[in-house]
A and B are shown apart, each in its own frame.
Chain A
Amino acid sequence: MFLVTDLLVLLGANLILVQALGISTIFVAAGNRKNLICTAMAITVFTTIGSAGACAVDSILPKSAADLRLLLYVIVIGAVYICILTGTYMLNRKFFESVRRYIHISAFNCAVMGTLLSISGRAYDTVGGIGFKGYILGGLEAGFGFIITALMLLAAYRKLNSSKVPASFRGFPAMLVYLGIISMAVFALR
């Protein structure tokens, strides 16, 4: 029972279906299983670690300097980006060559930035804040939401790119309509 309600909550806060973040990235992710796994993992790592950095930024930043939040988030994501690139390069050159594309497209992504801004907004609206744990959980939730939506799209990828789809709608337009109808069902259940 609780699994179903948890899944419903996850869908209800889904960054793609409800907030329309990371749409171009998910199109890449749904191309094949390798793209899906690599992109989803990269996004999850960025959102989770980025959330931790965002927590630190929010705790230090005074309200008068709230306009600097975006710049500081960019610096945080930039630092994570460089660290991940350096780390994977030093770990294994071959592995680095295979995953660097996914790291590049995941770093300054609407999904990652949007997640940080959403969590920050949620923390601001909650009396007493949401704590470091809340930030991390928010980042993980966004990552899982991305994975779920990417799986939904992977299941339909062949059909959406089939020769039976009118040429004008083949690929991205059909994908948008497909996600729209799924999103409609999520909103109907909310």
Chain B
Amino acid sequence: MYSDPANKTSSRFDGLLADNTVLSALMVISPVIMCSDTLRNAEALIYAFSAITFISVILCSFVPRKLPYAVKVIIYAAIAALVYIPVKSLAQVTYPGIVSRVGIYFPLLAVNSLIVFRGESLFYGVKKARMITSLTFYILGFDAVMLVTAVIRELFTYGTFNSHMVDVSPTVSGLGMPFGGFILLGLMCGVYRKVRSALRPASDAEERKEGSDVSGN
């Protein structure tokens, strides 16, 4: 399902389109569902996710590969938790009130699976330059989904765009609730897969097969 950096056919740009962090690799879903109801929240989370993930992955790339897997995972999570502290402090200055508004999803960004689990397979086996490029695009993949979801949800839930009133009627308050995030993200996932399969039919045929096609209900 995800791109293998050792595989020469995979591209460093996969994280944005071909193997989008959220829509394809299914990572960091909770903040998208729960917190992308306004553009303001999304901006703060994008900043936090980008800063924490970028710095943490680069620091984690220096962790010796020979350590046992469980120990490495704990070290990755600890590094991310440490990086979270200054990022949070800066967020409180730049986006006042955001930490209390977003609640537990702010610190949860620090232990996202891109740092703790997937970094091992996606980033640490390749050269630093390629790692940084690939990491940037995986971060951009999350950012893009967060932005698009936030724009749609804020527009149709509250009738505003970045807190400015826009003449949208009727508004659907349910879209701003968690179930609205679930359903919208599910539909976005489906549309993304459709677009991707239209652009890359051969590789997607393989992925569809691995999507456990249990025939007969």
Contacts and interface: CB of A to CB of B under 8 A. Distances in A.
B167 interface: no
The 6 closest A-B pairs by CB, nearest first: A180-B182, A176-B186, A78-B74, A180-B183, A177-B186, A173-B189
A68 interface: yes
B30 A114 contact: yes
A106 to B, nearest CB: 12
Interface stretch (B104-112, B122-130, B144-152): B104-112
Interface of A: 17-21, 23-24, 27, 31, 67-71, 73-75, 77-78, 81-82, 85, 104, 107-108, 110, 113-114, 117-118, 121, 157-159, 161-164, 166-177, 179-181, 183-184, 186-187
B168 interface: no
Contacts of B213: 161, 163, 170
A83 B78 CA distance: 17
A184 B179 contact: yes
B73 A168 contact: no
A172 B193 CA distance: 11
Contacts of B85: 67-68, 71
A107 B69 CA distance: 12
Interface of B: 26-27, 29-30, 33-34, 69-71, 73-74, 77-78, 81-82, 84-85, 88-89, 103-104, 107-108, 110-113, 116-117, 174, 177-183, 185-187, 189-191, 193-194, 197, 208, 211-217
Given A68-B85, A184-B174, A75 B27 contact: no
Contact of A176 (B77, B81, B183, B194): B183
Contacts of A181: 179, 183
Contacts of B112: 110
B212 A108 contact: no
A183 B186 contact: no
B104 A121 contact: yes
A117 B107 contact: yes
A176 B70 CA distance: 30
A183 B182 contact: yes
Contact of A177 (B26, B82, B117, B183): B183
A53 B194 CA distance: 45
B77 to A, nearest CB: 5
B111 A162 contact: no
B34 A20 contact: yes
Given A19-B34, A110-B30, A176 B74 contact: no
A171 B211 contact: yes
B26 to A, nearest CB: 5
Taking each of A20, A27, A68, which has the highest tally of chain B beta carbons within 10 Å of its own beta carbon? A20
A166 B189 CA distance: 12
Contacts of B182: 20, 176-177, 179-180, 183
B204 to A, nearest CB: 9
Given A20-B34, A74-B74, A181-B183, A187 B177 contact: yes
A45 to B, nearest CB: 15
A81 B113 CA distance: 16
A176 B215 contact: no
Taking each of B26, B111, B185, which has the highest tally of chain A beta carbons within 10 Å of its own beta carbon? B111
A91 B182 CA distance: 40
Contact of A24 (B27, B185, B193, B217): B27
B92 to A, nearest CB: 10
